[in-house]
Structure 1
Amino acid sequence: MAAPEVPEPRVERMLDSAAELLVRWGYQRVTIDEVARHAGIGKGTVYLHFRSKDALFLTVLLREQRKIVQHLADRMDADPRTVLPGATMRLLYEQLVSVPVARSVYLGDAEVLGRLAHEAGGTLGELAAARADAVRQHIHLLGAAGCLRPGLPPDSALYAFAATASGFLLVDGFGYGDLVPDVEERSALLEQTIAAAVQAPDPPAAELARIAPEIAQRYRSLLVHVDQEWRRRVR
């Protein structure tokens, strides 16, 4: 798959500034004037590339989603064991914790996103549906390859996978992350918890190697949706 056209440095600077201000102040308080001032450009230059505040900030969210999906697919191609549910979620958790914007999107943080959370849910609904389908196919492929806990239906494994991952992020938001301040230790606990709940005790390495490229490609196909939405917003 060809990579999208690389945004010019000025656009990247706008997106970096918008992302920083979004997390610092929240969507409702940030204005295009403040983004332009923070990026060291004129307000008119922002509107030259983005027709509205919504378009700018939705592009910020798209950029973070693209980075996460690309990184996940690349890691799956490099190491087949990354497709195991525990390893997959460990990788995603580490990214979500380290990228405040991505974390806010995942949790639907109303304080940060405000009305943008509703806009993102509606405007990016097709992407969210495609992402959910990719995850479902991922888990079902693992089940067919004998990599899930014996007797555990794939849909039950998917439920346990999603519930456990969401729970870890939510308790972090409630302040319990302070109990285990080291992110690497928390991510290891997440991986171990999911592995114990849904994975086969000894997943067959040959099967993992066989299905990993297909699973990686299913995630990589999401980039088409991201790039289509990106092109709709950036002039």
Structure 2
Amino acid sequence: MTSDPLAPLLALADVEPAFTQAREHVDAAMRHRALRRNGGQVAAEVSLRAAVASAALEDHRYDLDEVRAGTVTDPVLQGALRVAEGVGGLVDLWPRAPRQVLARLHVLAARGVVPDDDLGRLTSAADRIDALAGLVAGNDRTPPLLLAAIVHAELITLKPFAGPAGLVARAAARLTLIGRGFDPRGIVGVEAGHLAREPEYTGSAGAYATGTPDGVRSWLRHYASAVSAGADEIAQIGDDVLTPSGT
């Protein structure tokens, strides 16, 4: 049996307890009563908020209600919305053809932002992307949360595509959480968790890029915190669905 190459990362100080806590937050959120009868409505709201948050992390910031009303035409925001809508159809393909999925995500994210000839094409780090694809493909050994965190960190560090590559990184991480069963319904808005802790998100990503154990540890702890925050938002959205404003 092939060992998990990422397993040693769980031994970094405070990482495994942080991941355990994130799992507990997600499990608690999944028991919210709004998900029983209004799961589709909650999922749609989470998806919208995740897209708006992901665009904001690219420094394209818009009011949620304006986006909901359809009045924002910014191509980066529109790309984030396309990615959010397209993720569900790429879940099964992701562990079989990761590079193909990354290219497709970039097409969705960067249309109207970069020249058409650059859509879906790597601009750098081909060898590292090959290595990442090899790590994703058929990997049922690495814990889903750990794998998603590394996928995200590698892609935002490498920036292998032109334009809003962060949209691709966050979507690839979401695909990992969904496909590996950590968040099978795709309703944990980790992107909102990153935005809520934006300075930490930026700082820990930079720390990860150093390649040091402390840098990697910083990123993994942040990622767990963002998942917990995203899970906690499910309860807020569920409460809003059950008790709409004005009632």
Normalised to the residue count of structure 2, the TM-score between the two structures is: 0.27
**Structure with greater Cα Rg:** 1
Normalised to the residue count of structure 1, the TM-score between the two structures is: 0.28
